[in-house]
Amino acid sequence: MKLMLVDFTEVYAKEICEWKYDGEYSIYNYPKWNKISNEKWGITIEEKRKSEFNAVIDEYNCLCGYIRLLNKNEYILIGIGLKPSLCGQGLGNTLMEIVKRQCKKIYPNKKIVLQVRSFNERAIKCYKRAGFNVVDTYKKDTPIGYGEFVRMECTY
C-alpha cells in the first residue's frame, strides 16, 4: 500500500472521530465531533489543521491515518494515528518513515519526540524499529484519559 501526505481537512477530522479501536486500544477513540469541537481540540481548529496536521491517504484517496507535528522549540513532538482496521499490518513502519521525512523537511536537525501509552507494546516496538529510544516513563492526565506514558526520542 502506497501512503502519502495531504492537507488535513475537516472532513478527515470528522472521519477520525468515527474510528473505533477495540479492547485496551479503545482509549484512543475520539469523542464525537460536537464534543471535541465545543472543547476546541486541535483537530477542530482550522488554523491548527493547516499548520500542524497532515492526513495520510492511500492511492485510492482513502484516509489511512494522520500525523501531527508540534514545534516545541528544542524538539518536535509528534502525534500519529492509524485507522483501526489497518493496525497490525506493518503499515507503522511506512508511517514512521513518512513522519521522519516530513520532520526532516520542515524542521531539519531537530530531535523528534513522541509519547505513547506504556501498554501499547505494538507501537513501542514499531517506534524502536524506526530509531526511537525510550528516555522516560511517567503518568499524566489527557483529554482521553489518565495513564502511564513512555517518552521516546529520535535524532536523524
Give the mean pLDDT per block of 10 residues along the chain (156 residues). Answer: 95 97 94 96 96 97 97 95 93 94 93 96 95 96 89 88
Backbone angles phi and psi of 59, in degrees to 5: -65, -10
CA distance 143 to 30: 10
Check if the beta carbon of residue 117 is closer than 8 Å to that of residue 149. Answer: yes
Residue 156, pLDDT score: 66
Check if the beta carbon of residue 139 is closer than 8 Å to that of residue 148. Answer: yes
C-alpha distances out from residue 79 to 53, 76, 100, 104, 118, Å:
9, 10, 12, 15, 15
In the chain, the domains with their CATH numbers are 4-154 (3.40.630.30)
